[in-house]
Structure 1
């Protein structure tokens, strides 16, 4: 019943296509393209993967544009094929421009036959019909469909377009006999040939390619031509016939076949690069891989929370690349956090999602889905525990989606990993990587300031009269949560003690911290709030003896550049898993029954005492700084 239904649909589509005017056929082709694009999502994913691998330097927008236009081309090709044999179909094939026709004329004159190596570009069916009308007989090698009704219908369409069909399942002697009888034999040479093919270079990768075109031409000692068509701006087609040089002397060797097959592929590749939206991208051209090739996967890590969370997710990328250097790892984060990932050798591409500003709302969400879909990812790792993050990768069609069981969008994941409260966030995140059956070793967070960042930080420190000849201690008094801030007066007192002890002090923070940090200005202290980029701040930290900070992003910046840390925890607690990820680093806190009061902190102390921070004095912190520096040495 299924086969009959498919046949009736084809019959109706063909009747409709042949009945329509030219403008009506164009509208019908758009409908076919839309249905194929929407209904065959798996094929769309195959096409996106092929495009991403073939054009690694193109943006997601460019990839999606080529994809959409290739589906439009597919719709046009389908409708034009369904019209073969009709008055409109005959007109279209007769008007197809063919350059290099003198080569076929010469073949006919010599009554030798030829092999025509074609591909799924432009309109290959219309091209076959056009050549069959002009230089009969033309036979195209085809594969039987699983549906016998549809198979007969397609064969009749081709016959109506004057092209005969010879099936791949027939013995090789049938093809050779046709060539010796003066037939022009059409061979599609851009499909995966499985284990029987020859591996050649095609669009930047090894591709198993049919040997047939080269083999039959060499065996029958007939000319071999490449013939590809492209659609012109006026809707007509232009094809070009170009001879392939063959060595007919001596035995037919694998090297001869491979050389000719590679030449065919090079020509098609050039044609595709010039007309990428006219090739059929959604067939599995690279399905068969060389036996010695490692399987390549694409992974997307999605973390759009706070700056510190992004730093703590960097070990995921490094651990994957340590085990599989051939895999591609991309990272999606906010525009602000993206700067932290620059120069990271483990990350191929950085995608940004401005979820709170320019890409806020449904329109921005849908646009980001499209961008993620264009990445053709195999795996998504989502440490961010928001439903929006889970929904992005689900609707982008990523087949393997791994996140925590405590995520608000856990039901959108294909695999859920237990969120273990007692682990550090780095180790929790690495559990997501381990779920891929990868044996992950301990990896610490890393940032990669550029050489320019390092030079600028060195210049800043050297040019400061206040810091001259002093070892440097950094302090980072800021946090977006007031209950996570150790009082500014305590930082001022601490800075004075450090300066008195011979240290220079640099104060790091953002633009919003400038007004607050002005209070710390004194001899031996330089304030850099809002004057350095994130990686420049990391470069400055790299040159410091230690960092004193609240439970905030600079804590993780310092760890990521191997700078010792003394961290002051108030409303939050180390047991949440966001403490410094170096065993020698020091956390100062107070054990109180009211602590912790929130995982992120809050705007004010819930009980109004703020005892967790007020009870920690500058002298205690100062002594721990000295202790941490001794541990470092």
Structure 2
């Protein structure tokens, strides 16, 4: 009995230690998430207090400083640009990367002002290449909804917001951000424009329901897909695992696919939405 008691005691000790070791990490994680959230809201608060034009320039300055000190992401960016544009010189790739950083700063300024933008102001900022064609594409008589093919290209949040403000609220499959405080804030911001978030964990049923209700479903397909769920296609000459979910949904529901992308006009807060011709997915011999 004494031996058994000793074994039980020794078996319990590691469990107690594991519990004690986990709690501080969880507390620190919560503190780190809170600090990250406060820092984000503080930066956006400062940008929101400025005029939009001045906030764009301040955002550029902050992004340029980030470009100078963020060596890890700068290194990743240069490596990716070398894969995408092998014919460009190092100097040209560096210029492209720097421009990408600066655009992130402008996007931060616009994100800060987004909650206060009126529908009229948003119409001035975001115009459609052919708004009449877009209105017909998303509202024509059909038996199902519309799939909007897009990606994290340009000011993605502004594209979604502009649709809602024009009376075309969208459904969007949302992958939760690691920080739950930031995730909740972003969810609330999108909801102001009528955007209906679909959690990725229960997306299948909600996506089909949205299409049955003739909704607009936005699916960004430019992120690396989990092994087994994507198909490899050439992207800038390199095979990339691409999400095939939109194609599968289109095949199952016969929903039309409308490609749409937002492009900034120079360094301004003006953007133009480019809508490409409707795609109708056809069944082929390849089961993928």
TM-score by length of 2: 0.80
Q: Which runs of 5+ in 1 are unaligned?
A: 258-633
Shift in alpha-carbon separation, 1:200–1:167, aligned structure 2, 3 A: same
TM alignment of 1:437-456, pairs within 5 A: none
1:210 aligns with 2:243: yes
CA distance in 1, matches of 2:192, 2:71: 32
2:138 aligns with 107
Name the CA distance, whole Å, in 2 between partners of 1:70 and 1:242: 24
Instruction: State the partner residue of 1:580.
Output: none
SS in 2 for 1:194: coil
Alignment map for 1:204-603 (pairs within 5 Å): 204-233=237-266, 235=268, 236-248=270-282, 255=286
The correspondence for 1:152, drawn from 176, 179, 184, is: 184
Q: Distance in 2 between matches of 1:173 and 1:254?
A: 27
Establish whether residue 170 from structure 1 lines up as the match of residue 170 from structure 2.
Answer: no
Q: Residue 276 of structure 2 aligns to a residue in which SS?
A: strand
Q: CA RMSD in A?
A: 2.3
User: Counterpart in 1 of 2:36?
Assistant: 6
Contact 1:77 1:123 in 2 (8 A): yes
Q: Does structure 2 retain, via aligned residues, the 8 Å contact 1:117–1:188?
A: yes
Relative contact order (alpha carbons < 8 A, sep ≥ 6): 1 or 2 greater?
2
Cα deviation, residue 256, structure 1: 7.5
Contact 1:116 1:213 in 2 (8 A): no
Structure showing greater radius of gyration is 1
CA distance in 1, matches of 2:119, 2:60: 18
Q: CA deviation at 1:34?
A: 2.5
* 1:233 counterpart SS class: coil
Residue 131 of structure 1 corresponds to: 163
Q: Which residue of 2 aligns with 1:70?
A: 100
Measure, in 1, the Cα distance between the counterparts of 2:220 and 2:77.
Answer: 19
TM-score of the aligned structures, taking structure 1 as reference length: 0.38
Report the 3-state secondary structure (helix = DSSP H, G, I; strand = E; otherwise coil) of the residue aligned with 2:201: coil
- Give 1 or 2: higher helix fraction: 2
CA distance in 2, matches of 1:135, 1:243: 21
Change (3 A) 1:253 1:9: farther
The 1:179/1:135 distance shift into structure 2, 3 A limit, reads farther
